[in-house]
Structure 1
Amino acid sequence: MTQVDKAESGPDSLTADGEGTRPAGRSGPGPWKRGPVLSACALLLGLLLLLHRQLTDWAGMGSLVETFLPWFGLFAAVLLAGTLWRRSASSAVALLLPVTVWLNHFGGLLGDKSHQAGDLTVVSHNVAAENRDPAGTARDLAASGADLLALEELTAQAKGTYEKELAKAYPHHVVQDTVGLWSKLPLSGTRPVDPPWGTAGSPAARPRHDGIPVDPLRALRTTVATEKGPLVVYVAHLGSVRLMPRGGFWTDSRDSDATKLAKAVAADHSARRLLLGDFNGTLDDRALNGLTSQLRSVQDVAGDGFGFSWPAKFPVARIDHILVRGVEPKSAWLLPATGSDHRPVAAGINW
């Protein structure tokens, strides 16, 4: 072979057996062999989204994952960027699993499903015990024009302020422990869902799990007299959750309250039921299965986006909910932030 022949038989030429040699500058595995780590991560992410209910709840791990489940879609976006950078065909195919599962679970929340205002407008708000401006919060809530206002985390000091500021717009109201309902319509048959423990609910009488006092179920049941018939309303504030240095995500108090509330709702055979409150958990959390199996979320049916309500400055989770049965959700939205660390949630419902 001459010198010219050698030059012409460069990196793009065919070998004797008819196969081409790899072009210069394109060394390494092909697109189907690139990014094995990306592919593995995509498959693991997809399985996590698909089988999160099977994840162990040891140290509250399952509840913690389910609280922030929508945000796992960001990991898919990161993996997609890595896939494009590596030009990996295998990881692109693997990404179809988490993307499909995420869209199937949360895709319905991406659009605006709200319609016209309903026959009845309801608002639920954890007003926060640390709220420095309860009067301003009360005025903001009254300005919403809601027919029903459910308030959680009322303190003894702030209760009088809310009663005074809301008296003109809401002539009817009931309070049990730290939850209350203000209404433009008459109320009757009010009672606590779970009677307080101890003689006066003193901290010394509170049951404890792992040395931590368990919050009581702060919830009431009342009946609203509407033009179209009675509407049973529950207002609830489930127990707190905590991130413990040694115990992980502590949910005993919240889980216990959720079970009690679910049993109370199941035993209630009223045709129209409405549940408002701070659940200290998202509806993806397994601890709330007893409630979500009986009631529908207005946000899922008629909301605009995810409706994250906490924390108010940069919401990352919807832990404040409005659930219904026997009525039709028409719209669901968030109200502007108040002096609380929660955003108020609102909904319009029809018979």
Structure 2
Amino acid sequence: MGSGAGPRGAEGARGRRSARGRRGWLVAAAALCGALVMALHAHVPNGFGNLGSLFQTFLPWAGLSVPALLALAAVRRSRLAAVAVLAPAVVWVSLFGGMLTDKRAAGGDLTVVSHNVDEENPDPLRTAQALAGSGADVLALEELSTKATPVYERELAARYPYHSVHLGVGLWSKYPLHGVEPVPIMPWTRAVRATVDTPSGPVAVFAAHLASVRVTPSAGFTTARRNESAGKLAEAVRAEVLPRVVVMGDFNGTAEDSALGPVTAPLRSAQREAGAGFGFTWPASFPMVRIDQILVKGVSPVSSWTLPATGSDHLPVAASVRL
């Protein structure tokens, strides 16, 4: 009995090591595939259900795969898998590492706030009062309802003597507004453009609410109308003659979504350049994505941040820029 147990025990140990090795290879392969997909996220196809846009929308959360894969590598006791997990970690840091540092600074010549106030907001008065106390020089509000608009006009009038509302989109300013006109990104008004006469000179301001998106079992991530409205907004921004431009609003998409490239690529994200963290804005109860944007051209972002919840399903976004 004793002489026969040794070989069988050794064979069993080799078998267990071999099984762990195979499982380690699977974890390593998953890590390398994850790194490749993250690195090439802009090339993930949108052919079926717009999976590329959906993946890019939640791209920052792909970093959660790193601790999960590392835990699997530890369970499998695989050095190979542990080393392979470095690949997605490095790719994620290269994409988003800069977002984790606090780049906010004091100062700036113009502070802007954009907020989708939610047409079903149960307490527009509280939202209006919070915006009045935000310290912004210019407010861009989206999803204004006919019923709530007078509330905002009344509560914001004292601090913002200049304002213009076009259906669900409005601008409020401490400085004179000129040339306010709708931007035809959809059959009905969802964007406006105005010249703000600041003490440092004129600034072109766009406030936009791009078309909504949905996720359905049959159609996947439906973005066609949003992408079309983004393209039309991009055309208007390209045609702008003023050198200093601020574009803000609810984009119903993230800056990482390549389908929004026509409007996001020529501009710079205030959050990416001068924020701290990702600045997620939706849903307000547990923000997971940043679909509310402040994008600029010809000005320098100094600071970017989100404001506390107001009763809307979005958080307000703010930025201070140097003109």
SS of the aligned residue for 1:301 comes to: helix
Distance in 2 separating the partners of 1:267 and 1:87: 59
SS of the aligned residue for 1:28 comes to: helix
Distance in 1 separating the partners of 2:257 and 2:169: 23
Write out aligned runs for 1:254-269 (5 A): 254-269=226-241
Identity rate, percent? 52
Q: Is the 8 A contact 1:34 1:87 kept in 2?
A: no
Write out aligned runs for 1:4-83 (5 A): 27-29=16-18, 35-57=24-46, 58-83=48-73
Q: Is the 8 A contact 2:53 2:258 kept in 1?
A: yes
| Structure 1 residue 117 displacement after superposition | 3.3
Distance in 1 separating the partners of 2:145 and 2:234: 25
| Structure 1 residue 93 displacement after superposition | 2.4
Partner of 1:110: 100
Distance in 1 separating the partners of 2:64 and 2:98: 17
Partner of 2:89: 99
Partner of 1:253: 225
| Structure 1 residue 236 displacement after superposition | 0.1
Distance in 2 separating the partners of 1:196 and 1:37: 48
Residues 302, 195 of structure 1: CA spacing in aligned structure 2 closer, same or farther, 3 A cutoff?
Answer: closer
More helix by share: 2
1:180-234, Cα deviation, whole Å (9 max, x unpaired): 110000000011111763xxxxxxxxxxxxxxxxxx5610000000111100000
Letter in 2 for 1:328: S
Residues 249, 195 of structure 1: CA spacing in aligned structure 2 closer, same or farther, 3 A cutoff?
Answer: closer
SS of the aligned residue for 2:207 comes to: strand
SS of the aligned residue for 2:159 comes to: coil
Q: Is the 8 A contact 1:217 1:257 kept in 2?
A: no
1:95-145, Cα deviation, whole Å (9 max, x unpaired): 222111111001100111101132111100000010011111000011111
Q: Is the 8 A contact 2:294 2:319 kept in 1?
A: yes
Letter in 2 for 1:111: T
Residues 196, 332 of structure 1: CA spacing in aligned structure 2 closer, same or farther, 3 A cutoff?
Answer: closer
Q: Is the 8 A contact 2:166 2:189 kept in 1?
A: no
Q: Is the 8 A contact 2:284 2:315 kept in 1?
A: yes
Partner of 1:243: 215
Q: Is the 8 A contact 1:332 1:348 kept in 2?
A: yes
Tell me which structure has the larger Cα radius of gyration.
1
Q: Which runs of 5+ in 1 are unaligned?
A: 12-20, 198-215
Distance in 2 separating the partners of 1:145 and 1:242: 34
2:137 aligned with 1:165: no
Q: Which runs of 5+ in 2 are unaligned?
A: none
Partner of 2:165: 175
Q: Is the 8 A contact 2:281 2:291 kept in 1?
A: yes
Residues 24, 276 of structure 1: CA spacing in aligned structure 2 closer, same or farther, 3 A cutoff?
Answer: closer
Q: Is the 8 A contact 1:217 1:237 kept in 2?
A: no
Distance in 1 separating the partners of 2:139 and 2:62: 33
Letter in 1 for 2:139: L
Q: TM-score, normalized by length of structure 2? A: 0.93
Letter in 1 for 2:141: L
Letter in 2 for 1:39: A
